[in-house]
Every structure is written in structure tokens, then in C-alpha cells.
Amino acid sequence: MATRRVVIPIGFVLAASVFAGAPRPADAATSAETRFCRKQVSAQARVYQKKRQSLLLGCIDKLLKCEMLLELDGDNPNGCRGTATDSCARRVGPASDSILSRARQRFRDKAAAACLPVGLADLLNAGAGGLWYANDADCGGAPDIPTLMECLRDEMESQIDALVGRTKPRAGILLDNVGLGDEFDDLPRPPTVDVVVMATAPGSGVLVDPGPINVPQGSALRFTGDAGLVCGNPGNNGRVTITVGAGPTAQQLQLREPYGAGEVAIFGPYTAAASLPYEIDLKEGSCDDVVTDTVTVP
């Protein structure tokens, strides 16, 4: 009797192997592990977003209240500023024990722990069953899961801070003026006219006179101090007090030792034509000098 040949389509063979439970790679994540990872990243992201936004808005409201005391009531804001600055440092400052720093660490730790069973390869995998993080231009090259979660957190922070900046347009300047702005680069700032307060020679205690300062409408005036302002031994708690304007609503801010790019005093932005007197007063060790002139907004 003739032998009959039966041809089975290859597609049927492949399908049968799948439905028969073809073995998966030993290191592949289960669907339950992948779902748990995905859900935890989303859940921890929501928690962190809410916490960061709440902390920032609360801090900025405290700082803004102080400026309103000066700008609307003509009251001295220095006591209010000191209290608000201390509160903001505890909440959103860069110290590892600030509330925001602890929240940042919690997101990283909890999200990473939930995804460790999945493995970095499946997190990056842009194919079936993967979570497609390889498609993220900034984070797709992360060398490990904790680094990937830190990168995703940084991306979220940019968006959260931009939203806070739209809600509180003065946020960036307010944080810059209390030494906390470096942590929040994505808060919008107006363009600035920059003035560096300098001494005629290092340690001379004699200020260089900046002369008249012109500030375009829509811009702010930003002062920093040069390291040469130090007169005598460093660490003398030196300060430069800058006043712009006159009368009860004059704005006054200080640059404190150590001077440099991280210590700023920002006035404005100015939105209308004005001519305002300014004064720069250096008190550093045994040195004491003052220069005055005018800020002009054409």
C-alpha cells in the first residue's frame, strides 16, 4: 500500500507549540511580575507628583506672602522671609533629610524594588511583552533599574515644576532669592540684567560703582557677589545689602558670604517705565562701603 505524505503548515506547528506551553526563557518575567511592576511605577509616580507639587506650592505661597507684605502694605518683610526660608529649606531643600529629598528617594526605591523581578532587559524591551522604556531618548540607556527609575523621576520633575511655574509665575525668582533655586531649573524665569558686585581689589573693602543700570521692560535685575568682596578672614558673616526703590515699598535683599553664583538677589521683573534709586551697602569684617545710583526702565 502506498505511503501517504501529510504536509502540516508551519504556521500550525508554531501555533501549536505556543498553545502547548512552549518553554519561555528562564530569565523572562511572568505576566504577573510585569503587571505589578507597571502598576507600581504608575502608583509611585502619582504619589510623588502630588507630594512634589504640594510641597513646592506651599513653600512658594509662604515666600510670596512676605513679598506682599512689602509690596502692598509697606511692611518690613525680613522676619517673614526668614521664617519662610527656614520652612522651605526643611520641605524642599537639597539636604538628604528634607521632606522632598525623602520623597524622591522613596519613589526610586519602591519603583525599583517592584521591577527588579522583571529585569532591565524586559523593562527596556520595545517588543511584545516589554515595557518599551528603550524608546525613551533620555532614559533608554540606563545601565540598571534604579538608574532607570531615577531618570524617569527626573523627567517627571521637569513637567511638575513647569506646571508649578505656570501656577505661580514668581516661583523661580522667589526660590532663587532664598538660595533654593538651583534645585528647580525647570521653573520659568524672566530674562535678567546681571550685575556682579565687586571690590576694586580683592579684600580692599571698596566697591566698584556699577553706575546707572538699564533694565528693559519685562526683565529682572540680578545681582551676584564676587569672591573678592571678602575683607579680612573668610567666614566673617559678611553681607551686601541691596536696596532698589525708595520709601516703604523699596525692595531690599542681601547677598551673604560665601559669595558666588549660588548666592543671588533678584529684583523685578519690571513691567513699566521707571527710574528707581539703588544702594549697594557692603559690610564685611572691618570694611564698610556704599555706592548709589539709578535703575532705569525705559
DSSP characters for 160-227?
HHHHHHHHSTTHHHHHHHTT-GGG-TTS----EEEEEE-BSSTT---B-----EE--TT-EEEEEE-G
- pLDDT tens, position by position, 97-147: 999 999 999 999 999 999 999 999 999 998 888 898 998 999 999 999 999
Check whether 70 has a pLDDT greater than 50.
Answer: yes
Question: Which has more pLDDT, 289 or 31?
Answer: 289
Burial 77-95 (b: 16+ CB within 10 A, else e): beebbeebbeebbebbbee
**Percentage with pLDDT > 90 across the chain:** 73
**121 in a domain, yes or no?**
yes
The CATH number assigned to the domain holding 259 equals: 2.60.40
Check whether 5 has a pLDDT greater than 80.
Answer: no
Q: What is the pLDDT of residue 29?
A: 64
Q: Both 212 and 119 in a single domain?
A: no
Q: Both 55 and 166 in a single domain?
A: yes
- Among 2-6, 7-11, 124-128, 187-191, the range scoring the smallest mean pLDDT is 7-11
Q: What angle do CA 187, 188, 189 make, to 5 degrees?
A: 120
Q: What is the pLDDT of residue 173?
A: 96
Mean pLDDT computed over every residue of the chain: 88
Please give the average per-residue pLDDT across 91-102, as a whole number.
Answer: 97
Q: Both 35 and 163 in a single domain?
A: yes
Question: Which has more pLDDT, 22 or 226?
Answer: 226
Check whether 265 has a pLDDT greater than 80.
Answer: yes
Q: Both 172 and 198 in a single domain?
A: no
pLDDT band at 238 (very low <50, low <70, confident <90, very high): confident
Calculate the dihedral angle through the C-alpha atoms of 76, 79, 84, 89, rounding to the nearest 10 degrees. Answer: 130
Check whether 27 has a pLDDT greater than 80.
Answer: no
**3 in a domain, yes or no?**
no
CA–CA separation, 158 and 169 (whole Å): 15
Amino acid at position 272, single letter: A
Q: What is the pLDDT of residue 39?
A: 95
Answer for the pair 294, 278: CB distance below 8 angstroms, yes or no.
yes
Nearest to 40 by CA among 145, 97, 115: 115
pLDDT band at 4 (very low <50, low <70, confident <90, very high): very low
* 129 three-class SS: coil
Q: Both 145 and 284 in a single domain?
A: no
Answer for the pair 148, 123: CB distance below 8 angstroms, yes or no.
yes
Q: Both 70 and 169 in a single domain?
A: yes
Q: What is the pLDDT of residue 128?
A: 85
Check whether 53 has a pLDDT greater than 80.
Answer: yes
pLDDT band at 286 (very low <50, low <70, confident <90, very high): confident
CA–CA separation, 212 and 37 (whole Å): 60
Handedness of CA 110, 112, 117, 123 (dihedral sign): positive
- Report how many domains make up the chain: 2
Please give the average per-residue pLDDT across 253-270, as a whole number.
Answer: 92
**209 in a domain, yes or no?**
yes
In this prediction the pTM is 0.80
- Among 39-48, 95-104, 191-200, 233-242, the range scoring the smallest mean pLDDT is 233-242
Please give the average per-residue pLDDT across 192-218, as a whole number.
Answer: 95
Q: Packing angle between helix 78-92 and helix 31-73, nearest 10 degrees?
A: 170
Check whether 264 has a pLDDT greater than 60.
Answer: yes
Range of the domain at 57: 31-183
